[in-house]
Amino acid sequence: MHTFDEVSRMMRSLNLKHGRESLNALLAQAGDQELSPLQWTGMLLGHELNEREQQRRATNRRKAGIQVEKHLDEFDYRHQTTITKRQVAQLLDFQFIDNRQNLIFIGPPGVGKTHLATGIALKALEQGCKVWFSTALALTEDLEMAEIRGRLKARIAQLCRYDLVVIDELGYLPMNRQNNHNLFQLIHALYEYRSAILTTNKDFTRWGDFFVDENVAVPIVDRLIHHAQIFMLGGDSYRLRQKMGGGSVAGVGQN
């Protein structure tokens, strides 16, 4: 027969952290419910696995870097009619992640690109995927910092460990040559290996405007759109609509 302390020590050796932490409560519960040895074993191991999974998801959620929570069930398809609920629902089986496809949302400001990208990313996290979300600007700074420290390759390898990389607001700001190069390295590493979601206000034909070098723009765009589902969003800015009290924003002009 083993004492409580002995059992607790054995659980520590086996790294059964959660079962060990709750051992008292679990034993009491097993006593109350008069569990059979098999049921008790199942209860203990089930508890350990459950807690580990929850912790893993919480870690994934934290590492994802999603600052503003935007859920898909808050998305109003009556306002945004250039994408349907069914089209979005079809993405939520996450076949696109299994198939290493990209999603690209193109459209003017305020039409819901970031909202959709964030909502899909949150759902992917719920499914247990590892997601990393960043604005293009923050990504550029991140890669630049890594490059300066001679750690660009290592940083890219780290980002490639995520199942899904979301790059929000690509094309809002022009990038210098080094930044173009860094981004190309990342896109190249992700290509056919991981999925990305991009949001951009620029049509591909105008991506040359913000990649200083056409020679970089072409291969980047080429890799991104190969195996991509592209959604062209239009309509009025939701922000402007809200400001105008729900009326039409015709004549206000997009910024």
Nearer to Mg ion, 111 or 186 (CB): 111
Position among 6, 76, 126, 203 found at the interface with ligand ADP (CB under 6 A):
76
Residues 176-215 that bind ligand ADP (CB under 6 A): 199
Judge whether 197 and 117 are in contact, CB under 8 Å: yes
Strand segments (E) across 91-239: 102-106, 131-135, 164-170, 195-200, 228-232
Q: Which of 110, 139, 186, 197 binds ligand ADP (CB under 6 A)?
A: 110
Q: How far is CA 108 from CA 66, 173, 199, 202, 232, in A?
A: 22, 14, 10, 8, 10
Instruction: Note whether 106 and 203 are within 8 A (CB).
Output: yes
Residue with Cβ nearer Mg ion (48 or 168): 168
Cβ nearer to ligand ADP, comparing 26 with 196: 196
**SS3 call for 196:** strand
Burial class (CB in 10 A: 0-12, 13-18, 19+), 139: buried
Q: How many residues bind Mg ion (CB under 5 A)?
A: 2
Residue 139 interacts with ligand ADP (CB under 6 A)?
no
x-or-dash string of contact with ligand ADP, 226-245, rule CB under 6 A = ------------xx------
Please list the residues that pair with 232 across neighbouring strands: 106
User: Is the CB of 65 or the CB of 219 nearer to Mg ion?
Assistant: 65
Q: How many distinct helices (H) and strands (E) make up the chain?
A: 12, 5
Residue 19 or 112: the one with the smaller Cβ distance to Mg ion is: 112
CB nearer to ligand ADP: pick between 76 and 222: 76
Residue with tokens 């990649």: 211
How far is it, in rounded angstroms, from Cα 87 to Cα 39?
A: 44
Choose among ligand ADP, Mg ion, none what residue 6 binds, the Cβ cut-off being 5 to 8 Å by kind.
none
Q: Does 114 bind Mg ion (CB under 5 A)?
A: yes
Which one among 75, 94, 172, 204 touches ligand ADP, defined by CB under 6 A?
Answer: 75
Q: Which of 60, 64, 80, 236 binds ligand ADP (CB under 6 A)?
A: 80
Q: Smallest Cα–Cα separation from 125: which of 76, 63, 74? A: 63
180 is a contact residue toward Mg ion (CB under 5 A): no
Per the listing, tokens 């015709």 go with 250
Q: Which residues 6+ apart lie within 8 Å of 144 measured at CB?
A: 178, 179, 182
109 is a contact residue toward ligand ADP (CB under 6 A): yes
Residue 202 Cβ vs ligand ADP, minimum distance, rounded to whole Å:
12
- Judged by beta carbon distances under 5 to 8 A according to partner kind, the member of Mg ion, ligand ADP, none in contact with residue 119 is none
When CB distances are held under 5 to 8 angstroms depending on the partner's kind, the choice from Mg ion, ligand ADP, none that residue 211 binds is: none
Binding site for ligand ADP (CB under 6 A): 70, 74-76, 79-80, 107, 109-115, 199, 238-239
